Amino acid sequence: MPRETLKRPSRQGILESLERIVGKNFVSHRLEERYYYSCDPSTEEPHSPGFVVLPGSVREIQEILLLANREGIPVTPRVGGMTLSGLAIPCEGGIVLDLKRMDKIVELNRSSMYAVVECGVTVGQLKTYLEENCPDLWFSMPHAPPSVGVIPNALIHGLGQLSLSYGANSDMINGLEVVLPTGEILRTGSCALGKSWLTKYCLPDFTGLFLGWFGATGIITKASIQLWPKPNFRDALFYKIYDIEAIPQVFLMITRSEVCEDIYMFSWTGTSGRERFPLPEKPVDVPEITMDIVLNGKSLEEIECKKRAVRSIAENLLRKGVPIEEYARPPQAKKDVLMVPRTFPFMDLLQGGGAEYLGCYIPPPLIAAAYKRGVEVAKGHGFQYLHFLRPMRTGHIVCILYIFPFDKRDPNQVKKLVNVLKELSEECINLGGVLWKPSSILQNIVMRNADSEYLKLMEKIKKSLDPRGIMAPGQWMLY
């Protein structure tokens, strides 16, 4: 339930208390800074916080949460604010807790291949640190701006360049340190024993209490992130696919070969250069889908062996009637594909500042159906479709992104896009899919489709960890 706006004397008292905790330089209630933290490029409505606070230590976070819990002040955690689905918007005002000052890389364990990082460490920061201090290891980096937080990306089950082999980045967490809404500190995984951050195996695992909750159960202050051997060589092959129905078969054959390190499929609208939306109808000779296949190896000989394996699979598919064709890309385009993190220019196709996408993890056999329904729904509401596909965990599951650049200045276009996202969400769930980092609007659709006992347990967990309901209000509104 929305909380009452703080009265002026109370606001001043809260401000002074926050200043005592973190110092005057790290608290603001100025209008321009509150505006900055009130919105993101998504369709979600802006909500202004009462205060923006930048803690510098676990102790300061504890004191802030104790104050917020005592006074009933909502708290919304944030690092980069790049989720594009409103997850860091303070839906009920209160305090935005910007965690970017807490940016220490606490430990690098080369032999056991993990790094312990604070909550404000960014993808760009950890990448640079490893390149300078441990160039033979890397981590699963999301294809996102370098300002994205390492821990937040894992907590929303984000993907990286290693996800085809090892799964979502949440699968690569060894353990967490969390400040609960009531101020207690909880550690999960082997760090609960106080000796190392090695693994989450063999103990009752509480890590899931904080994965996929979007900050609603506590503030993660540290995490142990798994590292992996970095290959010496990388290369890529490129294919055109002319038939949507062929997608599951292509995925099945190539992913199960286990020779590829990453696979990307784009609808033709994602590879159309710098033209602005809406694009014309697809020319007959343009493939519906293009596919980028990334190959890693310890030697050039290994790379060439993998290329031969992929080409053999493609030739076999072609003999079976699957319309697949290898093609070459310009050297710079190929270089861009091999960048980690990789840049995707198709998120900047319209003026107006809006960018939204619906992500869904879909059973591989149904990916063609999900693709086609995305086309139908987008066109039915007057939007140009733009789809992006990635398999993960050797093809156990496929991620599909329905991407929509839009004019955020146009309220009618925003309203239409919300309806698109709602309709696609229902379609994906009906196909057996699971929505990825849904906005608060789409979370309601998830909960409407969820088992009642599952929701009851979610409610018990939320009330147990956050009895006053101060954490990330607006996310998973169970009561």
| CATH at 370 | 3.40.462.10
Rounded percentage of the chain residues whose pLDDT exceeds 70: 95
The H-or-E segment that residue 398 falls in is: strand 397-407
The yes-or-no verdict on residue 7 having pLDDT over 90 is no
CB 55 within 8 A of CB 64: yes
Residue written as token pair 């917020």: 68
CB atoms within 10 A of CB 111: 5
Answer whether residue 129 is part of any domain.
yes
Non-local (6+) Cβ contacts of 95 within 8 A are: 18, 49, 50, 51, 52, 53, 64, 68, 73, 74, 75, 76
How many whole angstroms separate alpha carbon 127 and alpha carbon 392? 22
CB 339 within 8 A of CB 265: no
How many whole angstroms separate alpha carbon 152 and alpha carbon 39? 17
The yes-or-no verdict on residue 10 having pLDDT over 80 is no
CB 323 within 8 A of CB 246: yes
Answer whether residue 397 is part of any domain.
yes
- Is the same domain home to 407 and 263? yes
Q: Residue 457 has which token pair?
A: 């347990």
Answer whether residue 181 is part of any domain.
yes
The yes-or-no verdict on residue 1 having pLDDT over 60 is no
Answer whether residue 216 is part of any domain.
yes
- Is the same domain home to 289 and 201? no
Residue written as token pair 């000796």: 195
- Is the same domain home to 194 and 254? no
How many whole angstroms separate alpha carbon 290 and alpha carbon 267? 7
Answer whether residue 479 is part of any domain.
no
Residue 5 is predicted with a pLDDT of: 47
How many whole angstroms separate alpha carbon 197 and alpha carbon 203? 13
pTM, full prediction: 0.93
Higher pLDDT, 187 or 40: 187
How many whole angstroms separate alpha carbon 302 and alpha carbon 308? 10
Range of the domain at 135: 105-229
Residue 344 is predicted with a pLDDT of: 76
For β-strands 185-188 and 173-179, DSSP reports them as: antiparallel
Answer whether residue 243 is part of any domain.
yes
> DSSP for 92-159?
T-SEEEE-TT---EEEEETTTTEEEEETT-BHHHHHHHHHHH-TTEE----SS-TTSBHHHHHHTT--
Mean pLDDT of the chain: 92
CB 75 within 8 A of CB 161: no
CB 115 within 8 A of CB 127: no
- Is the same domain home to 307 and 420? yes
CB atoms within 10 A of CB 423: 19
How many whole angstroms separate alpha carbon 472 and alpha carbon 220? 13
How many whole angstroms separate alpha carbon 441 and alpha carbon 429? 15
The yes-or-no verdict on residue 475 having pLDDT over 70 is yes
How many whole angstroms separate alpha carbon 2 and alpha carbon 391? 40
Residue 249: pLDDT band with limits 50, 70, 90: very high
Q: Which of 204, 229, 254 is a domain's end point?
A: 229
Q: Which of 402, 419, 436 is a domain's end point?
A: 436
The H-or-E segment that residue 71 falls in is: helix 58-71
Residue 450 is predicted with a pLDDT of: 96
Answer whether residue 7 is part of any domain.
no
Q: Is 187 exposed, middle or buried (0-12, 13-18, 19+ CB in 10 A)?
A: middle
Q: Which of 116, 144, 140 is nearest to 220 (CA)?
A: 116
Residue 405 is predicted with a pLDDT of: 86
Q: Which of 196, 229, 262 is a domain's end point?
A: 229
- Is the same domain home to 144 and 206? yes
- Is the same domain home to 187 and 288? no
Residue 93: pLDDT band with limits 50, 70, 90: very high
Residue type at 38 in one-letter notation: S
Q: Residue 224 has which token pair?
A: 């142990």
- Is the same domain home to 217 and 247? no
Rounded percentage of the chain residues whose pLDDT exceeds 90: 84
- Is the same domain home to 138 and 168? yes
- Is the same domain home to 178 and 318? no
> DSSP for 368-383?
HHHHHHHHHHHHHTT-
Query: Which CATH number is 140's domain given?
Result: 3.30.465.10
Residue 33 is predicted with a pLDDT of: 93
How many whole angstroms separate alpha carbon 130 and alpha carbon 214? 27
Answer whether residue 152 is part of any domain.
yes
> What are the pLDDT digits (tens) for 145-196?
899 999 999 999 999 999 999 999 999 999 999 999 999 999 999 999 999 9
> What are the pLDDT digits (tens) for 373-397?
999 999 999 988 999 999 999 999 9
How many whole angstroms separate alpha carbon 390 and alpha carbon 439? 21
- Is the same domain home to 143 and 217? yes
- Is the same domain home to 224 and 322? no
Residue 257 is predicted with a pLDDT of: 93
> DSSP for 160-217?
-TTHHHH--GGGGEEEEEEE-TTS-EEEEGGGGGTS----STTS---GGGTTTSTTSS
Examine residue 152 and say whether the peptide bond preceding it is cis (omega within 30 degrees of 0). no
- For Cα atoms 123, 124, 129, give the angle at the middle one, nearest 5 degrees: 100
Please report, for residues 194, 289, 307, 325, the alpha-carbon distance to residue 314 in angstroms, rounded to integers and kept in the order given.
Answer: 51, 15, 11, 8
Residue written as token pair 């602005």: 276
- Is the same domain home to 260 and 368? yes
Structural domains in the chain (count): 2
The yes-or-no verdict on residue 460 having pLDDT over 90 is yes
